[in-house]
Amino acid sequence: MEFPVRVRHSGGMDGERLFCGTALAARIERAEARLIAESSDAARARRGDSVGFARPLAGGVASFAEADSPFNKIAGLGFDGLPDALDEVEQAFAELGAPVQVELAQLADPAVGAFFTGRGYHLESFENVLGRRVGEGVPAEDVRLARDDELETWLAEVADAFAVADTEGVPSHEDFPRQTVIDAMRDMAGVRRYVAEREGEFAGGASFRVTDGIAQFTGAATVPRFRRRGVQTALLRARLAAAAEAGCDVAVVTTQPGSKSQENVQRQGFDLLYARAILVKGVSSTSSSGADSRQAS
């Protein structure tokens, strides 16, 4: 038997830790699937072609955006039965020369995991999904919304910061080419981008979007020379304040297990909700998420 635990969280709604059952997990996974599908469609719109796909699959999505993209995956499954069109999806990935990567929530129906492993998928890694209730937030100093005319600078600065791995914590399992990172961040549908400044310079950038009352924190990075100076904390607080203004009740973020990013968000009151298993069939040259799993603190 588990008993409710109440703790004091900085900036939390009422100090109560966020419990995640299957209903909340399914809601978060649906939001993730929408982000992936809309961003995959945006990649095709940017290129002006129809290469790739984003198709519904058992309550989730199967997506191929472009070569090496973090949006090439199957996600959001496990809460609406077994996929019944997987043969066609696997063939579609094969025709594009891509492995099939599945992100499967720990709280999904166990039968779905057994289904994939029975088809030859192997476990490659894990990622953690953390969340917290959204209460009244206080905007952080030295953080502001990025202007439209700053987009290219924001993309370049954040991509360069991502490229310099943090030396603390468990290293990320992801490795994407710089231009792929820039294109993926450009294609993220409906995001708000933020700039953190120190000494009048660009110190870090972050983004988030709102999906059905969920604030999805979709990436953050700090310029290496400004690390350990509270930039990530400021970016988290700014987005939490914006999430409150947008009427969100939950904020979620994805991190590499045991990473500095996970430590940062837990200090801001995020609880570990569940893990996702990364299952792969074929050769995976890169890896997963379009969320904050490559934060550089």
pLDDT of residue 169: 55
Nearest to 59 by CA among 40, 74, 38: 74
Domains and CATH numbers, the chain: 22-127 (no CATH), 133-274+285-294 (3.40.630.30)
Residue 144 or residue 6, greater confidence? 144
pLDDT at residue 141, as a whole number: 78
pLDDT at 7: 31
Q: Specify whether the CB–CB gap between 175 and 287 falls below 8 A.
A: yes
With tokens 């519904």, the residue in question is: 56
pLDDT-based confidence at residue 174 (cuts at 50, 70, 90): low
- Whole-number Å distance between alpha carbons of 157 and 272: 29
Range from 99-103, 104-108, 126-130, 286-290 carrying the lowest mean pLDDT: 286-290
Q: Are 112 and 82 in contact (CB under 8 A)?
A: yes
Give the integer Cα–Cα distance in Å for 250 and 246.
11
The pLDDT confidence band at residue 242, using thresholds 50, 70 and 90, is very high
Q: State the Cα torsion 108-111-112-114 to the nearest 10°.
A: 120
Quote the percentage of the chain above a pLDDT of 90.
Answer: 77
Residue 126 has pLDDT above 70, yes or no: yes
Q: What is the mean pLDDT of residues 26-36?
A: 98
pTM equals: 0.88
The torsion angles phi and psi of 54, rounded to 5 degrees, stand at -145, 100
Average pLDDT on 282-294 reads 49
